Amino acid sequence: MTKKIYALLLSFLLFFKIFGKETTDYSIVFVHIGPSIPEYTATAIKQSRLFNPKADIYLVAQTQAYKNLCLTKDLAQFDPIFVSTESLPLSSDHAKFQKKSKLDNLYRNGFWRYATERFFYLNALISSKDLKNVFHMENDVMLYCDLEEFIEVFSANYKGIAATFDNEERVIPGFLYIHDDQSIGSLTRFLAKKSLSGENDMVTLAAFKFVENGKYIDNLPIIFPSYAEKHPLVSSYKHRTDNPKKFFKNYELFEAIFDAAALGQYLGGADPRNGHLPAGFINESCLFNPSFLDFIWQIDPKGRKVPYAMFEGQKIKINNLHIHCKNLEAFFSGNV
């Protein structure tokens, strides 16, 4: 290599280091299917960017839906990477699902069908871009941590998918970790096989755990050990577990919990389309009762509001909240 070429190469690397965007080995992905993306999606992306300045944040949606959202919200300032659903390849499993699915196409313009179909688009994105360490979030989920700090924990302890189970028979997939394309591919193959069942995504993801004894999906901590020492893990609908430890698995590594929806519903209320269910609502199926906890917001060293649960003098960080009521701006960390 000549001195001139070497000097040019050093100059390029120095320019990229100073002016180029730093990247990490993880991504955050939002997926929306349908002609209209809710405006609060922009708030969820803004929140994710606030805590994850170096992450690649993807938004997968139909082209026109993305354009319509951009007309009302300045998404560019949050630096999302838009990928159109039209540009992603249709796998054989996706085609099978589209042809055979018995999920309801009418309720809320196909809500239940789209809730499951999103995983096929997610698979197409991850496979086509060879992504690893992917965090999929629903568009009403607010993130309160820098996921880069937990990459080693996720990667070492979850070789498939990490999910927020709120009982033995249900996953609330508002927040998911996906190790790689093989992990999501295993899930979509299972979903294609289950397409005739008509069961929703929450039920099928929980059923997925019984494939090869839970090889492909495992629990994130939604509660902490000291709660289980004081209260039985049982829902108001009498869901129970024979192994409470599953629901605070790896808590000692994260030193935090993940919300499967119950916390966000208690703090903000449930979706108003489901009736008048204001703050204080207790999810009927979740194995713990959030009313046994107190909640505080603290300002972190970067001036961001972060939620904590308080229990008998113990302070537990909450890494995300599923804002079921859709009023995401009320839970934005920049509102100090």
What is the tens place of the pLDDT at every residue in 211-251?
Answer: 877 899 999 999 999 999 999 999 999 999 999 999 999 99
CB 22 within 8 A of CB 114: no
The residue-averaged pLDDT of 106-134 equals: 95
CA distance 260 to 173: 7
Could you tell me if residue 7 is inside a domain? no
List pLDDT tens digits, range 58-110: 999 999 999 999 999 999 999 999 999 999 999 999 999 999 999 988 888 88
Could you tell me if residue 166 is inside a domain? yes
Opening angle at CA 261, ends 214 and 24, nearest 5: 70
pLDDT top residue among 3 and 250: 250
Whole-number average pLDDT of the chain: 92
CB 61 within 8 A of CB 92: no
CA distance 74 to 262: 31
pLDDT at 178 over 90: yes
List pLDDT tens digits, range 133-176: 999 999 999 999 999 999 999 999 999 999 999 999 999 999 99
Could you tell me if residue 14 is inside a domain? no
What is the reported pLDDT for 166?
98
CA distance 121 to 30: 11
Domains identified in the chain, total number = 1
Greatest alpha-carbon span in the chain:
74
Could you tell me if residue 104 is inside a domain? yes
CA distance 220 to 249: 6
User: What share of the chain has pLDDT > 70, as a percent?
Assistant: 92
Could you tell me if residue 174 is inside a domain? yes
Three-class DSSP labels, 271-288: CHHHCCCCCCCCCCCCCC
Q: Which two tokens stand for residue 218?
A: 């495992």
Domain hosting 30: range is 19-331
Counts for the chain of helices (H) and strands (E), in that order: 11, 13
Opening angle at CA 137, ends 33 and 251, nearest 5: 155
Could you tell me if residue 262 is inside a domain? yes
Could you tell me if residue 2 is inside a domain? no
What is the reported pLDDT for 175?
98
Extended beta strands in 88-216, E state = 134-137, 141-143, 161-167, 170-178
Q: Where residue 336 falls among pLDDT bands split at 50, 70, 90?
A: low
What is the reported pLDDT for 292?
98
pLDDT at 180 over 70: yes
Paired with 192 in beta bridges are none
Helix (H, G, I), strand (E, B) or coil at 140: coil
CB 212 within 8 A of CB 205: no
Could you tell me if residue 23 is inside a domain? yes
CATH number of the domain that 236 lies in?
Answer: 3.90.550
